[in-house]
Amino acid sequence: MMEMKMTEVGTLLPIWSVIPFIAMLLSIAIFPMIAPGFWTRNYGKISIFWAFVTSSYIILKFGNVGLHEILHMLIGDYIPFIILIGALYITAGGLFIRGRFDGTPISNVVMLAVATFLASLIGTTGASMVLIRPLIRSNKNRRIRAYLIVIFIFLVSNIGGALTPIGDPPLFLGFLKGVPFFWTLRLIEEMLLMVVPLLLLFYMVDSYFYKRDKADYLSGSIEVETAIEVLEGEEVSKEKFIKIEGWYNLILIFMIVGSVIISGSIKDIGKISILGVERKVVDVVRDIVIVILAIISLKITPQEVRKKNEFSWSPIEEVAILFFGIFVSMVPPIKILQAGEKGALSFIVKSLREPYHYFWAAGSLSSFLDNAPTYLVFLNSAIGKFYPFIDEKVAVTKLLLEHPKYLEAISCGAVFFGSVTYIGNAPNLLTASIAAEYGVKMPSFFGYMFKYSIPILIPLFTLVTIVFFMS
């Protein structure tokens, strides 16, 4: 009886029920720009307010069925999401890479290429946190460095996470919805079509500035090969080889990845009910194992290592609080979209016909809003289009078998377009803030877009569209 009523929720919700979700995302996009002080002090209250508005309406309208929908979103999606993101943040924060990097164009390209593919192994947040400081230190003597950070954001904080559910939050949410762990490896061609041109462009630009700086340094009797100076009063290691302090955190990270892979590979051995929400036993065990690995990292990593990485709890606290509001307020639009053409957002389902429609639609929202909920919205839109009122995981399986290009387009749009603005993906603004602390003059919000992302990325997105999603 409850199952039947739950399938009707999306058809009964009015279109204005998506307002809290839109307001939540607009709050994240606008307040940090126009009122940063107010946002810093009140973002938690704003997030809880929109979550309260949504949950109150859903529960009052649908009673126990509405309560079940809210709990299902929190227990089935939000908590596993935060556990994974938090564990990767903690373990990556226990790694400190030291050594002598020469800051030449070739060295920078190699570092960016390695970091890009590392993002799919330890997540865009983890790779960004671990490698942004070595990149900045290796280019300490450069006078113009903003483009280094921007390309890093493009590749490491976003595009590089396309190959695994560990790589980027939206893909992990897809994994939770039934997308096989290794399915995203098929995005390697789309990813390479983005990565290779960006690295080539970077090499040409970096070579120009490197040669110009070298000539200026030599004419001013300061050689570009001068040993990298001290950052914040501390000497950078002069060792010939790269050394990793807290290296055992790499083992913990790969154990986290392994636990995710195993949980998606083991056959269903039963379910348990948590506040009326059924979860697979293997998924619960996976989450517990990930939490234990994060605790181990906290216990065995010396505080000196985390201090060198300027590790703090505030970024992950902010993510947890904001995503609470996002996930709760996301319930109405997701249920409506799941209803397909019988829901209040049927015009969206009807207008999205081809894979490239989904690529640009999911991407455009991911540029200014958060790409994780955006991915879910368009995944559910595709499900609503082809398989309305079918069990979610069954629908995902059928989508992968019968219409895989649609999910490829949604996945690429959500991951790639996150690099268009500072707020498109969580690591973007964090990376820019770290660079600014090290004295890099970063472009403004709109400067980043109009000077870098729009002229560089939009042509590449168009190329990806033509090659992969219009045939």
pLDDT band (50, 70, 90) for residue 220: low
Whether 3 shows a pLDDT value over 60: the answer reads no
Where are the chain's structural domains? 25-469
Q: How many residues does the chain have?
A: 471
Residue 99 confidence (pLDDT):
64
- The amino acid occupying position 192 is L
Can you give the pTM of this predicted structure?
Answer: 0.76
pLDDT in tens, 57-110: 999 988 888 898 899 889 988 898 889 888 888 888 888 877 656 778 998 999
Q: How many CB atoms lie within 10 A of CB 453?
A: 21
Residue 236 confidence (pLDDT):
43
Where do we find the tokens 């969206």?
348
Could you tell me the CA-to-CA distances from 41 to 28, 31, 37, 350 in Å, in that order?
13, 11, 6, 41
Task: Report whether 368 contacts 424 (CB < 8 A).
Answer: yes
User: Which neighbouring-strand residues pair with 231?
Assistant: 234
Please, what is the average pLDDT of the chain?
84
Task: Report whether 407 contacts 399 (CB < 8 A).
Answer: yes
pLDDT in tens, 409-435: 999 999 999 999 887 787 887 788 778
Task: Report whether 264 contacts 175 (CB < 8 A).
Answer: yes
- Residue 276 backbone zone (phi > 0: left; psi -120 to 50: alpha; other: beta): left
Query: Cα–chain-centroid distance for residue 91?
Result: 17
Cβ contacts of 126 within 8 Å, gap of 6 or more: 88, 89, 91, 92, 119, 253
Residue 47 confidence (pLDDT):
93
Could you tell me the CA-to-CA distances from 190 to 151, 276, 303, 307 in Å, in that order?
18, 41, 40, 38
Over pLDDT 70: what percentage of the chain? Answer: 91
Average pLDDT, integer, range 19-30: 85
Could you tell me the CA-to-CA distances from 283 to 82, 120, 172 in Å, in that order?
14, 21, 13
Average pLDDT, integer, range 217-236: 44
- Least confident residue range of 28-32, 50-54, 236-240, 279-283: 236-240
Residue 355 confidence (pLDDT):
94
- Least confident residue range of 92-101, 219-228, 237-246, 275-284: 219-228
Average pLDDT, integer, range 164-173: 85
pLDDT in tens, 331-340: 888 888 777 6
